[in-house]
Structure 1
Amino acid sequence: MKKVFLFGYYGFGNLGDELLCAYYTSLLGAHFPELKLIILRDKPNEQEIEYKTVSRWNLWQLSKMMAPGDLLVGGGGSIFQDATSKRSLFYYLALLRLAGWRRLEIILAGQGLGPLSSLGRRLVGPYLNSALGISCRDQWSLATLVEMGVNRPLLYLGVDPLWDFQAPELLFKPAKRRYRPSALGFFFRKEERNRKQRLLFRLKLRFEGLRLITLFPEDYPVAEVVSQEIGASPPLLLTEVRGLAAIAPELTMVIGERLHGLLLAAKYGLPGIGLSNDPKIKAFCQQMEWPCFSWQDLCVENLMVMAIEEVLSDLGSAEQQVLQKRTEMEKKAREERDWFLQLIEQTLVK
């Protein structure tokens, strides 16, 4: 029985990455039941019976499990970057090298590339050229591949895979929401705390409601302190989609430092604004035609307030635009899914 090894930033508690893991697990299991699915996680789940999980860190164990003709599938995320961790990048490159040594076919799906240092680009390019196919979730990531000289794999420009994610909580059509006027959701990261505190305090004074939302456990303690300091309600730590489903009807719009927070909010029909130095947030906002600001922008607090007021001044049009974009992005995600499945089918018949 051939095996498919699925990897990503799985097992660390980040809601977006856990949803990506669930998406690809369901997709592969439904379309290729003849394959043995093995998921690489931070810590294996011994109670899982539908598929096998193994420690991502035990490369020696993985090498013994891998055999020529097996598949290594990278399932979404921004794993090939060295802005937050060079150690993480070296791990993924070691995994690709191991797969090449064991003569596995490599498919990387729904990838966000970068940010990468000049050294990172020189290291990553040759490894990615060993892949059979790579799909990118935005134009910026595809351009990064081209700049690094990655030209051997089949390349596909798609969107984030979670546009195709069909959890029960995301199947409803947004109806008239029961929000208070100007109720803002803020997807929070722990960085830039001092500047963020000033911005959030100003937003709380200017608009009626403000709720900090975290998708990653490491962000929550800082969000809790900041909420107390500005006199806001306690933050939310979302570990499941249903948590966002519960609060979405109360929100008018969202501000996002987390890509998948913005994406999930858009699936609920909520308008948004990006706020991050990370190019993946800017790329997503360009796809959605949303405003996006960086902490490096001068007078970013003023820019944010003006952008929020502009959205609220014609909220109906903003909501309609989100629904139109959602339809467009979900269609592109289905097309990318078909490309991904077809590539695996072609690989299996070799």
Structure 2
Amino acid sequence: MEENKKLNILMATMQMGFGGAETHIYELCRALVRDGHTVTVASAGGRYADMLEAAGIRHVTLPLHTKNPLAVLRCRAALKKLIASEQFDVVHAHARIPAFICGSLQKQLHFRFVTTAHWVFRVTPLWKRLANWGDRQMAVSEDIKQYLIDNYGQFADNISVTVNGIDTDSFAPGGDFAAIRDELALSPSAHRIVSVSRMDESRGKAQLCLAKCAGRLLEKYPDLEIVIVGDGVLSAERNLLADVREIADTLEKKHGRKIIFTPGLRTDTPAFLASADVFVGASRAALEAMSCGLPTVIAGNEGYIGIMDESRRDLALKTNYCCRDCGETTEAKLFADLCKLLDTAPEARRAMGDYCRRVILEDFSAARMAHDYETMYASLPAVTPDVPGKILVSGYYGFGNAGDDSIAAALVAGIRAYAPDLPITFFCKDPKNSAKKYGVRAVRRFNIPAVLREMRTAKLLISGGGNLLQNTTSSRSLFYYTTIIRMAKRHGLQVFVLANGLGPILGERYERDVARTLALADRITLREPQSLDYAASLGIPHDRMTLSADPALLLTPADARRVDYILKNVENVPLFAVSLRSFATLRSEEVGGADEDRFAATFAAEVDAIAARTGAKPLYILMQSSRDRDLTEKVNAAATVKGEILGGLTAREIMGVLERCEFVISMRLHLLIYAVAIGKPPLGISYDPKIDAMMRYMGCAAPLRVAGLKGGALADAAAALSGAPLSADAIERLKSLALADAASAVQMTR
């Protein structure tokens, strides 16, 4: 979708009453409208719905808060009519029921569909089956992003992470609280603790702990007042406000004055915060308090972080200030921290509050949140996956191999950089997942009737990238790829053999077959000189071929926060990356007759030697978990210096992890390519001429042979690595060649 385009957006959520998600949506809508977009909100209504309309933002009231089948059908009919008539650029759902309804309409109405995950909910088999998370997802923290990956199989690169954006003008120091002081008859000079939260049992634990601390706090601070703003909103849960009010009544009778004030649900939160000396709470409420310059104790149902300061900033951010997995909130912890704050001199407390305010201005502005969403909207494909592709892509896609998946992602990104509206179809093993991952149409690669249907309307077949035309792993796969090319030519398509590695091809009959197939191609680019020379030896004229580069070089690393999350359990020491692959599919001559178990023992000894000489620890990366894990675990078990094993990462995540490593050792070709793309020194372990050829082409150190890992050879080579393997200019030259292939592909469809 075009960047900077002013969009017509439909937000669909359950309701717009009191809560963190509702406030998030309210602030997002206002920020998007300030940026020039048009926003309509559909929900069951609530206080924030009234405030949206007061701000000039349209609200449509629908019973989106209930699973009642009749209500769901009513909402579906109403949303279908609304979406069809308004022609929204983006439909954006913020809860599972609205997402299910909107998702059921997408295929029929062909709109761009995104969702936001605000929380982690219990996953049932039914919800897992019914859930529709759209073309792109937004999570409000890295752990919620991981929840979407682990529980719903969402693709990490399609999930953005934003913040709970705060209106820092409304939530600012020095607010006026005269009205609530008069309303509640608050003392003008008391020590005052304020907390804001829903009071359902799943949310109000910290507030109940605060009320239970009140008696002990009064012994130290006789003028104490506590204000707990909020109420229960979920009928299915116990309301803890009743318990708080019972404690409040007991204290009032004992002390002859009101100690704990419970004004219920309110939207004038800034006024209550303006009255506070200290705040207790979590999530969005804590962020709003920090924006007001209040010293804040981060505490909630999910856990306890404590007094917000520099030492706790990273931890708070990782959990989006929700305290997940941060220990239990207890009266003892809360009492101790509140005493620390209330005993602190006013000037020092103000400095603590000023720090909290700076954190919000740096990390949590509403403008930053809106920008994150606008970036996600711009990343949406301009065409929906149900449109037949003008470009067909054939390759080793959908097998869970990070290297080939990175080629797919780079191809799509490269083509869309030149032609955002051009529909693309992939032939792959897992059409459903591939369509979701890359925002393309996808059909099963061996579903020949479906493949033929796609060819009837397409203009171009891309065969590649990768090392497709070889038969060392399987003659069946070679037959498949050459057959697809011939079928495409019979249907009048142009054929682009793109950034291929060629060979080895065993047997003259197979070489003749490949030569005849390549002769049919309209354009051929090879990813390294050895493949170019091999094609020439098969009789393909040099003037029909061009030297190119692997498309994966075009990918960029995941952002730093994502990498921090991935490495959260990895020791903070220098690291070197290692990627191995099983010998099971390799021929004996490719590994010099080496035995996998003996290799594991030898490699483990080399890992220990490298660790001793460099002071770095291994970090094992699985490029294809199904084939790489067994050997990797054998090596790690045999080595004295243990390393973490990371699997299931996307190419961009792997590149982000490699940026944190000192150097890279790999049997997997694409891990070596990723290292070159980010300028990290790679050391290849070769079992295939393609690795030797690519390392030469990229200007890297010569790889070691699998059978040559003896007597510290690997440790010597690793210790010798220094600096980037290529100059920045050389890396950019390779990337420009890969990008030129994408431009050529687009040109061939015109």
TM-score, normalised relative to structure 1: 0.85
Asked if structure 2 preserves the Cα contact closer than 8 Å seen for 1:107 and 1:131, the reply is yes
Change (3 A) 1:169 1:88: farther
* CA drift at 1:238: 4.4
Q: Does 1:74 align with 2:483?
A: no
* CA drift at 1:323: 5.2
Q: Does 1:14 align with 2:401?
A: yes
Change (3 A) 1:242 1:156: closer
* CA drift at 1:230: 2.9
Q: 2:602 aligns with which of 196, 199, 223?
A: 199
CA deviation profile, 1:112-146 (whole Å, cap 9, x unmatched): 11121124322211111100011111001111110
Instruction: Name the counterpart of 1:248.
Output: 658
Distance 2:463 2:643 in 1: 38
Distance 1:11 1:153 in 2: 34
Q: 1:40 aligns with which of 415, 427, 432?
A: 427
Asked if structure 1 preserves the Cα contact closer than 8 Å seen for 2:655 and 2:674, the reply is no
Residue 469 of structure 2 aligns to a residue whose secondary structure is: coil
Instruction: Name the counterpart of 2:739.
Output: 337
TM-score, normalised relative to structure 2: 0.41
Distance 2:659 2:439 in 1: 34
Distance 2:703 2:419 in 1: 40
* CA drift at 1:301: 4.8
Q: Does 1:146 align with 2:536?
A: yes
Asked if structure 2 preserves the Cα contact closer than 8 Å seen for 1:4 and 1:70, the reply is yes
Distance 1:50 1:263 in 2: 24
Change (3 A) 1:323 1:22: same
Q: Tell me the percent identity.
A: 24
Distance 2:545 2:494 in 1: 15
Asked if structure 2 preserves the Cα contact closer than 8 Å seen for 1:112 and 1:137, the reply is yes
Asked if structure 2 preserves the Cα contact closer than 8 Å seen for 1:93 and 1:124, the reply is yes
Where does 1:316-327 land on structure 2 (aligned, <5 Å)?
A: 318-319=722-723, 321-322=724-725, 324=727, 326-327=728-729
Unaligned runs of 5+ in 1: 171-177, 312-317
Greater relative contact order structure (CA < 8 Å, 6+ sep) = 1
Instruction: Name the counterpart of 1:128.
Output: 518
Instruction: Name the counterpart of 1:290.
Output: 701
- The aligned amino acid for 1:211 is L
Instruction: Name the counterpart of 1:269.
Output: 679
Distance 1:61 1:139 in 2: 36
Distance 2:700 2:542 in 1: 32
Instruction: Name the counterpart of 1:348.
Output: 749
* CA drift at 1:203: 1.7
Where does 1:109-258 land on structure 2 (aligned, <5 Å)?
A: 109-119=498-508, 120-151=510-541, 154-166=544-556, 168-169=558-559, 180=573, 183-191=575-583, 193-208=596-611, 209-218=617-626, 219-231=628-640, 232-245=642-655, 247-248=657-658, 250-258=660-668
Change (3 A) 1:147 1:291: same
- Would you identify which runs of 4 or more consecutive aligned residues in structure 1 move more than 6 Å? none
* CA drift at 1:273: 1.2
Unaligned runs of 5+ in 2: 1-387, 561-570, 584-594, 612-616
Change (3 A) 1:328 1:121: same
- The aligned amino acid for 2:401 is N
Q: Between 54-63 and 194-203, report the one with greater CA deviation.
A: 194-203
Q: Between 280-289 and 334-343, report the one with greater CA deviation.
A: 334-343
Asked if structure 2 preserves the Cα contact closer than 8 Å seen for 1:130 and 1:152, the reply is no
Distance 1:2 1:293 in 2: 43
Instruction: Name the counterpart of 1:105.
Output: 494
Rg larger in structure:
2
* CA drift at 1:242: 4.9
Residue 417 of structure 2 aligns to a residue whose secondary structure is: helix
Change (3 A) 1:304 1:225: closer
Distance 2:419 2:681 in 1: 37
Q: 1:308 aligns with which of 688, 712, 718?
A: 718
Q: Does 1:61 align with 2:450?
A: yes
CA deviation profile, 1:138-162 (whole Å, cap 9, x unmatched): 0011111101112398311122222
Asked if structure 2 preserves the Cα contact closer than 8 Å seen for 1:274 and 1:293, the reply is yes
Residue 725 of structure 2 aligns to a residue whose secondary structure is: helix
* CA drift at 1:233: 2.6
Between Structure 1 and Structure 2, how many residues are aligned? 331
Distance 2:534 2:443 in 1: 31
CA deviation profile, 1:291-327 (whole Å, cap 9, x unmatched): 3111244x6454323222322xxxxxx21x4351x53
